[in-house]
Amino acid sequence: MWWKIIKSITDHMVNDYDLSSIPALTVKAGIEGGIPDYPAIRVCRGGERNTNILTKGRGTVIVLIDCWEGSDDQDPGVAYELINNLEEKMIKSLIDWFEIAPTQLKVKLSLEDDTDTDADGEMFRPTVGSTTRLKIKWNK
């Protein structure tokens, strides 16, 4: 089920009008190695929890969504504004996805309350990144 969820999120974001308005944005499933050219969104597998292998009808998928932006400007606020805007559009796209995904995937979905976003720690200037960690419960 994890791949169906990741593929569905990725396809939704590729076709999202607000995200597609960002010039040169790439949205892909998985990491290709290294930091992608920015702007970029990568939807990645984070693992599975509470999967009952006998019933195969429910579980929890951890999805990691990496956002990457950057700027050569000496003012770090310029890159911060870019990553903030990308993260906001990504979250809006996820909210829209949660509205339509249960019908498309033919499962019930819920988002656990402990969604987190972590910054990259300023280690890759001029690129800045973040990872949003989602716990998505599914039930057939």
Q: Is the pLDDT of residue 8 over 90?
A: yes
Q: How far apart are CA 107 and CA 16, in angstroms?
A: 22
Mean pLDDT, residues 49-59: 75
Domain locations in the chain as residue ranges: 2-139
| Model pLDDT, residue 92 | 97
| Model pLDDT, residue 88 | 96
| Model pLDDT, residue 55 | 66
Q: Which CATH number fits domain 2-139: 3.30.70.1700, 3.30.365.10, 3.30.565.10, 3.40.109.10?
A: 3.30.70.1700
Per-residue pLDDT reduced to its tens digit, 73-129: 888 889 999 999 999 999 999 999 999 999 999 999 999 888 888 887 777 778 899
Strand partners, 139: 58, 108
pTM greater than the 0.85 cutoff: yes
| Model pLDDT, residue 74 | 86
| Model pLDDT, residue 114 | 81
